[in-house]
């Protein structure tokens, strides 16, 4: 329904209500459409007056919708009035009302009131992240960076994840401001991005660049660049951190893979204890491998060709100069069939070690184990993103480790003119990094780039002259 353009008298509202198909929800529907059409606030007031006169009361629901309308139009005094009314009417308010009021007030000149409201929210529940973000934005808009960062730290301490927008705002409003303390805080945000493997988008990156360049007496200069496979920054010739894990991280990851991915809740779900033991002894006797191949995955690269031909292409392409190969497969590959020719299989077994798992076992788990057992230099070949295995890992820290290791050690292959082109694993680590007088920040071109397996190729290089 279309809300009226001018305030109406009670009789007129009554008439409208009677003409509406379900009169009992008339007010709610009307208010919803007012919010949608951004109707003048006077119209809403006249409806409220009408309701108040008829019932002697206005339901919380309607007040909330009116509040939403006020917030939408930035009517600060109305927001305060509604808040006062709610306060005397109800013992406590719920999160939705606080969200609206805090958002409304933080955009006005009475933003300090939003802070006191935030304190009030804390008494009854954990404030939502929008609560914090409104307050942080308000504080930084008024150049109270200390306050803003205080709130930001408080938010992190409560395990709320800030949006990129709010981090962006912090950089935007700190531009040109002095102070070692402030600098430390902003570096802290960059390290937060590093730890959580978050990549800023283009506009955010720009504001980081501008902030660096605006530091008084800092002499920072930023350049946009692409970093080549070698991992050397073309602007400052700095070599980026390599993607190897530390000894401790590596061992940790290996143990977690065995515990969470291979065994999980029940070893029988992915393999069986006997089979896993057999595989372990098989691997121990032949260590170390240089490349581990997921045979079945590779054999499906070209659907028109025989599967064993695909596999033998891959093995031939990779088998050179004393490279030790391990191919993982399943027992059905040993049965002579139209897809698996035994003479080709025999030939391949001269070039590489083969392990055949049971047909109902998961070979991916074996792939991970064999690669990790061989050491840091060992790579693996599969087109699988291994997301389901990553999901088996229980904490986010190990998952980040896994992703980093995967980026550095997975070779995926692309078909090009029926020749295997090896797509090299990333040799450098794609995270925000610093040496003190340089910063390298990878960024996404678009805001919505979401593939977790893709790492950005574009970088922001910042150096101090």
Partner 1 sequence: MQSTNTLLKRIVRSSVLPLAAQHGMKKDLFPLSRTLSLSFCLKQDKSCSPSEKLDLDAWKKVMKSGLQEEVSEMVSEHKELSSLAGAREILEMWRLAGRSVPENITEDQLKGFMECPSKSAQKKYLKFLYLKELYKKNDKRKMDKKRERRLETEERACKTDGTKRNSFICLWTNCMDRAYSWRVAQSMIFGQPLVFDMSYEKDMSVREVANTVRQLVLSEGCNRRSVDPFHIHFCNLKNDSLYQKEFIKHYREAWGKLLVTATEQCYTEIFPKDKLIYLTADSPKVMKTFDHNKIYIVGSMVDRSIKTGVSLARAKRLGLETAALPLEKYLLWNTGAKNLTLDQMMHILLTLKDTGDWKKALEFVPKRKYTGFVSKPVHELKKTLSLINTLKLGKAQEEVRKQFAKNYSKKLMQK
Binding stretches for partner 1 (CB under 8 A): 7, 9-10, 28, 42, 45-46, 48-49, 51-61, 64, 81, 84-85, 88-94, 96-97, 124-125, 265-270, 272, 359-360
Name which of 118, 113, 111 is nearest 132 in CA terms: 118
Q: Closest distance between partner 1 and the C-beta of residue 339, in Å?
A: 15
Q: Closest distance between partner 1 and the C-beta of residue 460, in Å?
A: 35
- Judged by CB, which is closer to partner 1: 67, or 367? 67
- Find where tokens 């940790």 sit: 252
- CB-facing half-sphere around the CA of 258: CA atoms within 13 A: 15
Q: Closest distance between partner 1 and the C-beta of residue 50, in Å?
A: 8
- Judged by CB, which is closer to partner 1: 7, or 150? 7
Tell me how far apart the alpha carbons of residues 97 and 200 are, in angstroms, rounded to a whole number.
Answer: 32
Name which of 135, 146, 152 is nearest 174 in CA terms: 146
- Judged by CB, which is closer to partner 1: 161, or 180? 161
- Judged by CB, which is closer to partner 1: 33, or 251? 33
- Judged by CB, which is closer to partner 1: 51, or 182? 51
- Judged by CB, which is closer to partner 1: 61, or 452? 61
- Judged by CB, which is closer to partner 1: 187, or 268? 268
DSSP state of 232: B
Do 394 and 260 form a contact (C-beta atoms < 8 A)?
yes
Tell me how far apart the alpha carbons of residues 88 and 76 are, in angstroms, rounded to a whole number.
Answer: 19
Tell me how far apart the alpha carbons of residues 122 and 129 are, in angstroms, rounded to a whole number.
Answer: 12
Do 75 and 41 form a contact (C-beta atoms < 8 A)?
yes
Q: Which string of DSSP letters, residue by residue, matches 261-274?
A: IIITT-GGGTS-HH
Token code pair at residue 350 = 């001269």
Query: Where does 277-324 show beta strands of DSSP type E?
Result: 291-294
Q: Closest distance between partner 1 and the C-beta of residue 258, in Å?
A: 17
Q: Closest distance between partner 1 and the C-beta of residue 90, in Å?
A: 7
- Judged by CB, which is closer to partner 1: 81, or 181? 81
Return all residues near 376 (Cβ < 8 A) that are at least 6 apart. Answer: 244, 245, 250
Token code pair at residue 177 = 């401001």
- Judged by CB, which is closer to partner 1: 97, or 326? 97
Q: Closest distance between partner 1 and the C-beta of residue 6, in Å?
A: 10
Q: Closest distance between partner 1 and the C-beta of residue 303, in Å?
A: 12
Q: Which residues pair with 461 in a beta bridge?
A: 223, 440
Q: Closest distance between partner 1 and the C-beta of residue 452, in Å?
A: 21
Return all residues near 263 (Cβ < 8 A) that are at least 6 apart. Answer: none
- Judged by CB, which is closer to partner 1: 193, or 333? 333
Tell me how far apart the alpha carbons of residues 428 and 233 are, in angstroms, rounded to a whole number.
Answer: 11
Q: Closest distance between partner 1 and the C-beta of residue 138, in Å?
A: 24
Q: Closest distance between partner 1 and the C-beta of residue 462, in Å?
A: 38
Tell me how far apart the alpha carbons of residues 328 and 382 are, in angstroms, rounded to a whole number.
Answer: 11
Tell me how far apart the alpha carbons of residues 392 and 267 are, in angstroms, rounded to a whole number.
Answer: 13
């Amino acid at each position: 329904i279309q809300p009226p353009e001018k305030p109406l008298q009670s009789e007129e509202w009554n008439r409208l209500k009677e003409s509406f198909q379900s009169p009992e929800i008339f007010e709610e529907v009307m208010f919803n459409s007012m919010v949608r059409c951004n109707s003048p606030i006077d119209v809403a007031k006249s409806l409220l007056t009408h309701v108040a006169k008829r019932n002697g009361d206005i339901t919380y629901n309607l007040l909330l919708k009116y509040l939403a309308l006020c917030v939408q139009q930035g009517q600060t005094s109305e927001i305060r009035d509604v808040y006062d009314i709610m306060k005397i009417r109800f013992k406590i308010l719920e999160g939705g009302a606080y969200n609206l009021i805090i958002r409304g007030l933080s955009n006005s000149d009475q933003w300090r009131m939003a802070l006191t409201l935030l304190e009030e929210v804390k008494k009854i529940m954990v404030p939502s992240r929008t609560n914090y973000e409104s307050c942080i934005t308000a504080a930084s808009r008024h150049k109270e960076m200390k306050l803003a960062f205080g709130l930001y730290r408080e938010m992190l301490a409560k395990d709320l994840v800030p949006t990129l927008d709010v981090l962006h705002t912090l950089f935007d409003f700190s531009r040109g401001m002095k102070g070692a303390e402030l600098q430390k805080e902003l570096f802290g945000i960059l390290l937060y991005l590093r730890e959580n493997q978050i990549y800023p988008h283009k506009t955010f990156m720009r504001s980081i660049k501008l902030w660096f360049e605006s530091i008084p007496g800092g002499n920072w200069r930023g350049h946009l660049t692409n970093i080549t496979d070698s991992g050397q920054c073309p602007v400052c010739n700095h070599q980026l951190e390599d993607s190897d894990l530390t000894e401790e991280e590596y061992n940790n990851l290996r143990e977690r893979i065995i515990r969470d991915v291979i065994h999980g809740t029940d070893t029988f779900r992915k393999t069986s204890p006997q089979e896993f033991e057999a595989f372990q002894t098989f691997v121990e006797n032949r260590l170390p491998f240089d490349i581990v191949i997921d045979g079945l995955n590779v054999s499906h690269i070209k659907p028109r060709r025989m599967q064993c031909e695909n596999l033998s292409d891959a093995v031939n392409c990779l088998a050179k100069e004393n490279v030790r190969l391990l191919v993982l497969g399943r027992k059905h590959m040993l049965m002579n069939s139209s897809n698996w020719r035994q003479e080709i299989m025999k030939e391949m077994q001269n070039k590489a070690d083969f392990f055949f798992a049971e047909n109902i076992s998961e070979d991916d788990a074996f792939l991970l184990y064999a690669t990790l057992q061989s050491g840091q230099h060992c790579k693996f070949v599969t087109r699988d993103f291994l997301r389901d295995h990553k999901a088996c890992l229980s904490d986010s820290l190990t998952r980040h480790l896994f992703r980093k290791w995967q980026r550095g050690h997975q070779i995926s292959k692309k078909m090009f003119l029926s020749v295997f082109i090896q797509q090299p694993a990333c040799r450098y680590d794609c995270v925000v990094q610093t040496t003190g007088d340089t910063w390298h920040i990878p960024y996404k071109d678009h805001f919505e780039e979401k593939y977790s397996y893709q790492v950005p190729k574009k970088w922001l290089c910042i150096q101090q002259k």
